[in-house]
Amino acid sequence: MQRAVFFDLDDTLHDRTASVEVFIHSQARRVLAMREADACRFTERFIQLEERGRVWKDQVYQALSQEFPQARHACDDLLNDYLLSFPKECRLRQGAANLLRDLRHNAFKLGIVTNGRSDMQLAVVNALELEDLVDTVVVSERVGLRKPDPRIFRHALTQVGVEAQFAVFVGDDLRADVRGALAAGFRHAYWFDTDMIAPIDLPPATTRVRTFFELAEKLLCV
């Protein structure tokens, strides 16, 4: 019996929230020569406008150029800087790499299923040195499907040759990750709740976890 664990990328394996905050603050200082107070406001507005990656950056920078005089004629420079430099600033969550190695040592098939642009998501995967730790990386743009569509999860299963009943999914988005995977027939889903959201009713076959150390205890004891 072959088993598999699939992971979301952003704000699951990749600590995207922290990475974005650090990078955009640095960008405001480097590219726009903003003072500290303005750089903090710029960063805060960027995070609000991009909606955790759901809004593409050309739109975000265009909106920021209307609010910050320093960015008025810098949209292209900011976007190019983001595309080239952001992956280098990405941070892996503490404990993630060790868990992937332990799972592989225990003969699990491993994969990443992520929504987003192929060039950016694959650049992040490469920067985080995840390529050699997983068996497949499925990006929504490349396959023409987006989470929570169950078909993207089924596609990921075919890439590793594991049936849904022997697979689990780990992700931070209840709708896209948890409900999507369960709709595709996955045996279980782990909701990565780093924001420590107030208790809510979870779907059946779902467990809330807050760290990779907690997740390791659950995955490696089965």
Rounded to an integer, what distance in angstroms lies between the CA atom of residue 115 and that of residue 26? 26
Per-residue pLDDT of the chain (222 residues; tens, 9 = 90+): 789 999 999 999 999 999 999 999 999 999 999 999 999 999 999 999 999 888 999 999 999 999 999 999 999 999 999 999 999 999 999 999 999 999 999 999 999 999 999 999 999 999 999 999 999 999 999 999 999 999 999 999 999 999 999 999 999 999 999 999 999 999 999 999 977 675 678 899 999 999 999 999 999 875
Residue 48 and residue 84 in contact, taking contact as beta carbons nearer than 8 Å: no
Residue 91: both structure tokens together: 């941070």
49 burial type by CB count under 10 A (0-12 exposed, 13-18 middle, 19+ buried): middle
